[in-house]
Structure 1
Amino acid sequence: MGLASAPPRSASPADPAGPARAHWLRVAREVADDLATDAVIREQAGKVPFDEVSRLREAGLLTFLMPAGPQEGAPDRLTAYAVVRDIAAADGAIGQLLGAHYFLSWSVRFFAGPALAARIEERSAAEEWCWGGGFARQEPPLMLTRTTSKGLVLNGRQTYTTGVLVADRLAVRAVREDTGEPLAVVVSPTRRGVAVDGDADPFGQRLAAGGSVEFDDVRVGADDVLGSLSADEDLLSPRACLASPVGRLFSAQLLLGLAEGVLAEAREYSRTGPAARYPAWPAGTPHDPQVQTAYGELTVLTRSASALADQALDALRGGLERGEDITYDESADIAVLVAMAETAAAGAAQESTARALDIIGARSTSARLGFERFWRNARTHTLYEPVTHRLRDVGHYFLNGAHPRFVLPV
């Protein structure tokens, strides 16, 4: 029993994805630099991130991963992971918002038929939709009921951590009242009967545009129902099972971005800020052996988590390239490796964001500097996505060969 043994695909100099990837990574870094200039002020203001979404839209980052054709696993899709990581290093909440957008819009390919997926993606690209919501299980669930006059209608109220305040499309999980089957449904927030409430009040990820959505007899057409979210292997294909690791790898990249972002800002402060403990030394604390050791430990921790995430990305690439030929065992193998990567990234983010405050010392309490936002963002995310569940999946697989449960990220 191996762990995601699919070999990584070697890059070819003639591969058209090479220039495309380089271009979009350059665009992402430019947007990240722009976001970083006022990240502290925007985070403290806590306004709905309409302006930030406009920056992403104007840069083309909302639509670049939409394929020109029906091919699965196009290289540009995987570039989305690096884009999220760069954005998260500058602004964790916007990184989360963008990662959720990519995952939800990509999910169309896993749950809808090819023709429906192509139609939705074409409109999403043409109208530059921003996606929000989520497919995670919540209680009580949204209910999808068939009526004689309106057809299918959606009812219920649920809370979402990401995107609903700025979304052009809401992707939600709803249960068929007559059969109990969970379905992936896409709804416009402007449709009659949809009410979005900005009642979220998190201490971190304040700009992720989370809130509650009320659905009151909202009409749901045939093209609004993507497909089944049932975890039953008789209904869920091995390829559709990859939706879970696809989403969880975005979580890992977000966490790595937070770890790298806080270390970069702390390093800059250590090099240029006041050295209160050793005033005879030059500005900053780069000569303090304890500080050097701490940065060394956090660098090793973050780089190790990054290497594991790279392995998971290579395995996911191989699984996507196999398409309908992938088996349940291969899909489970990839899911376990992604679970390991997410767990390692969570550890790196929590450790780096907390210890960076210790390295800087009492000055890190300054709201003007904004160092604490990294810790609050990382802690908020890991509370919604606790690594305990991922560790249990890894251990159960290692001991008993059990496939991880099909659980979509919050």
Structure 2
Amino acid sequence: MGVAIAPADPAPTPERTGPGRAHWLRVAREVADDLATDAVAREQAGKDPLAEVAALREAGLLTLLAPVEFGGGGADWATACAVIREIAAADGAIGQLLGCHYFLSWSTRFFSPPGLAARVHLRSAAEQWCWGGGLARQGAPALLTGKPGRQVLDGRQSYATGVLVADRLAVRAVRAGTDEPVAVLVDPAGPGVRVDGDTGGFGQRLAAGGSVEFDAVPVTGDDVLGPLPADEESLSPAAALASPAGRLVSVGLLLGMTEGVLAEVREYSRTGHTPWPPASQVPTPADPQVLGVYGELTVLTRSAAALADQALDAVREGLSAGDDLGFEQCAEISVLVAVAEAAASRAAHESTARALDVLGPRAASARLGLDRFWRNARTHTLHEPAAHRFREVGDYFLNGAHPAFSLPV
């Protein structure tokens, strides 16, 4: 269908001076194992995830993407996406929190001048900031107004991930008079900023989401990270990669939650553990219907994972190409990521719902907390509907239309 297919051999990666991918995956699994031990209790309590962020910080995961020379981990985007997937398998909300942090902190490479990006990376790594907020179009943006000798930010962002625990917020605003969209860095503890945990969602409760209001918030020159694209035509192909690269966060989240629920339900199926009396009818691992469900969900999940790997390789090649990337190649990368996200969304919907069927009535036990996987996945896909990705893929296949530039919510 004209979609870019990953080569048989992975694209070469530049030499690194920081820890490699294997190190970071090992660290992520250790953190994920710790999160999994009390995931049900933490999700049901719904407290702000301060301890969870502290654990990510202590493990070095918050500075994973920062350059080594600035005190960071020096990892690449593919490694960050793999870490998101590992964490999301144990706790989808913390996976979302970390994915948002990675994208916002890393997006300065697309929108900021090199000198400013270096200064921001240096301070973020030194102080181990946790980033929150969001740069996607959501209702009326905040207004950045120039005053004599200063700038101020006014307005409201109705939803942003991580605002209840973030050290810095990256938010979308427009300049007064020109309506030029820009990314602005805000200290949530600064004057004129009011954060409200008013989302009340039934899922992703530990993603620390909420609204934030700005009332004459002082903004310095370095707080304006750079212009955001007003339309696709204003972007070079290299800058437009911010869209498919950002969408890989969603792919990792969905795959992680899918793999997490299947692993947890499989463990119960194998052990026969149940909070119900022995006389209750419980499907057994030898039940043909159980085997069929597991088979179908395994095929869905592995298919989505294979597409995700292709999308990651394609984005990595695009990032390596830099200014040599062409418009058509960028479009093919965007479509391949849309395919991967749609497949991961379908796998998450099917797995988080149907995996419960193989456990029977015991799956409804609040003590097991298996419903959190469905609620987390469904909440995420309400913000990032798969229908949008299907339309993009269909329009490209039928009409050759390039997907629209869109940043993750």
Q: 5 Å matches for 1:57-136? A: 57-68=57-68, 76-136=76-136
1:239–1:324 contact (8 Å) kept in structure 2: yes
Q: Could you tell me which residue of structure 2 aligns to residue 399 of structure 1?
A: 398
TM-score normalised by the chain length of structure 1: 0.93
The answer to whether 1:55 aligns with 2:25 is no
Q: Structure 1 residues 400 and 63, CA, compared in 2 at 3 Å: closer, same or farther?
A: same
The answer to whether 1:220 aligns with 2:219 is yes
Partners of 1:333 and 1:353 in 2: CA distance: 30
The answer to whether 1:337 aligns with 2:336 is yes
1:316–1:334 contact (8 Å) kept in structure 2: yes
Partners of 2:408 and 2:333 in 1: CA distance: 16
Counterpart of 2:404 in 1: which secondary structure? coil
2:183–2:228 contact (8 Å) kept in structure 1: yes
Residue by residue over 1:200-251, the C-alpha shift from the partner in whole angstroms, topping out at 9 and shown as x without a partner, is: 2000000000011010011111111122222434532211111111111110
Q: 5 Å matches for 1:237-316? A: 237-273=236-272, 285-316=284-315
Partners of 1:284 and 1:34 in 2: CA distance: 30
Residue by residue over 1:47-106, the C-alpha shift from the partner in whole angstroms, topping out at 9 and shown as x without a partner, is: 000000000000000002212369xxx753320111110100000000000011001111
1:229–1:236 contact (8 Å) kept in structure 2: no
Counterpart of 2:217 in 1: which secondary structure? strand
AA paired with 1:61? L
Residue by residue over 1:325-347, the C-alpha shift from the partner in whole angstroms, topping out at 9 and shown as x without a partner, is: 21222211111110110000000
Per the TM alignment, residue 19 of structure 1 is displaced from its structure 2 partner at its CA by 6.0
Partners of 2:106 and 2:14 in 1: CA distance: 26
Partners of 1:14 and 1:349 in 2: CA distance: 33
Partners of 1:161 and 1:14 in 2: CA distance: 34
Counterpart of 2:166 in 1: which secondary structure? coil
Partners of 1:38 and 1:338 in 2: CA distance: 33
AA paired with 1:186? L
Counterpart of 1:167 in 2: which secondary structure? coil
AA paired with 1:372? D
Q: Structure 1 residues 131 and 275, CA, compared in 2 at 3 Å: closer, same or farther?
A: closer
Counterpart of 1:269 in 2: which secondary structure? helix
1:271–1:284 contact (8 Å) kept in structure 2: no
Partners of 1:237 and 1:13 in 2: CA distance: 23
The answer to whether 1:376 aligns with 2:378 is no
Residue by residue over 1:113-134, the C-alpha shift from the partner in whole angstroms, topping out at 9 and shown as x without a partner, is: 1111111011111110000000
Gaps of 5+ in 1: none
Gaps of 5+ in 2: none
**Which region of structure 1 is more displaced relative to structure 2, 1-10 or 175-184?**
1-10
Q: Structure 1 residues 143 and 295, CA, compared in 2 at 3 Å: closer, same or farther?
A: same
Partners of 1:276 and 1:368 in 2: CA distance: 9
Counterpart of 1:408 in 2: which secondary structure? coil
Q: Could you tell me which residue of structure 1 aligns to residue 349 of structure 2?
A: 350
Q: Structure 1 residues 59 and 188, CA, compared in 2 at 3 Å: closer, same or farther?
A: same
Q: Could you tell me which residue of structure 2 aligns to residue 141 of structure 1?
A: 141
Q: Structure 1 residues 108 and 307, CA, compared in 2 at 3 Å: closer, same or farther?
A: same
Q: Could you tell me which residue of structure 1 aligns to residue 151 of structure 2?
A: 152
1:269–1:284 contact (8 Å) kept in structure 2: no
Q: Could you tell me which residue of structure 2 aligns to residue 194 of structure 1?
A: 193
1:396–1:402 contact (8 Å) kept in structure 2: yes
Partners of 2:220 and 2:14 in 1: CA distance: 44
TM-score normalised by the chain length of structure 2: 0.94
AA paired with 2:94? I
2:158–2:212 contact (8 Å) kept in structure 1: yes
Task: Give the length in aligned residue pairs.
Answer: 406
Q: Could you tell me which residue of structure 2 aligns to residue 175 of structure 1?
A: 174
Per the TM alignment, residue 18 of structure 1 is displaced from its structure 2 partner at its CA by 10
| CA RMSD after TM alignment | 2.5
Q: 5 Å matches for 1:20-59? A: 20-59=20-59
**Which region of structure 1 is more displaced relative to structure 2, 175-184 or 126-135?**
175-184
